[in-house]
Amino acid sequence: MHITVAGKQVDTGDALRTHVEFGLGTIAGKYFDHAMEARVTFSKVRSFFACDINFHAGRNLIMRGEGQAADAHRAFDQAAEHVGKRLRRYRRRVNEHARAQGGVKGAERGMPETAREYVLRDDGDDEAEEIRGAEHAAVVAEPATDILRLTVGEAAMRLDLAHLPVMLFRNHASGALNVVYRRADGCVGWLDPGVN
């Protein structure tokens, strides 16, 4: 397993790196039967340390965990527990996904579609935004993103594992573009424009 530990204005010494490697090694050994990659980033937020864990557990499968505490070790422990709870829920499906990527099931799904994702800068001036319209907002990033062919259950799982607010996917059953999103009450909503 390849682990990258980085700090944003935080010193990531040998003790912290060892703690992270041991913690992620334990999680990987317990929940995965394949190799993976992880990136752990520490930052300082006011008087707290924040830890963000990004697991890459296979092609197009990302898991995120976040933690905040008075010291960096405890922030990592919180983030690792966050990831661990999700993995306990989805362990079987995550491992099936990794095995299917190389097999027939992965080939049946085909290559994902690519779409352009636009990140717009919020100037904080609501009145000016109404005058200019959305097409005149400043575009600060244009990364490419994949639109995967998934079942609704797989899309909901990926939304939860990656800690995303919304996910666009192509429904495996109907072939239509669908959306799953995190509702204000904590539940997952599903938009299927093809249903009357």
Q: How many domains does the chain have?
A: 3
Q: Is 181 helix (H, G, I), strand (E, B) or coil?
A: strand
Does 127 have pLDDT greater than 90? no
Task: State which residues form the domain around 160.
Answer: 148-196
How far apart, in whole angstroms, are the C-alpha atoms of residue 196 and residue 106?
A: 31
Q: Which CATH number does the domain housing residue 32 bear?
A: 3.30.160.100
Same domain membership, residue 127 and residue 81: no
The pTM of this model reads 0.65
Query: pLDDT exceeding 90 applies to what percent of the chain?
Result: 37
pLDDT computed for residue 129 by the predictor? 47
How far apart, in whole angstroms, are the C-alpha atoms of residue 101 and residue 143?
A: 24
Question: Would residue 87 count as lying in a domain?
Answer: yes
Same domain membership, residue 194 and residue 157: yes
Place 28 in a pLDDT band, splitting at 50, 70 and 90.
confident
pLDDT one-digit tens code per residue, 163-178 = 889 999 999 888 899 9
Same domain membership, residue 34 and residue 63: yes
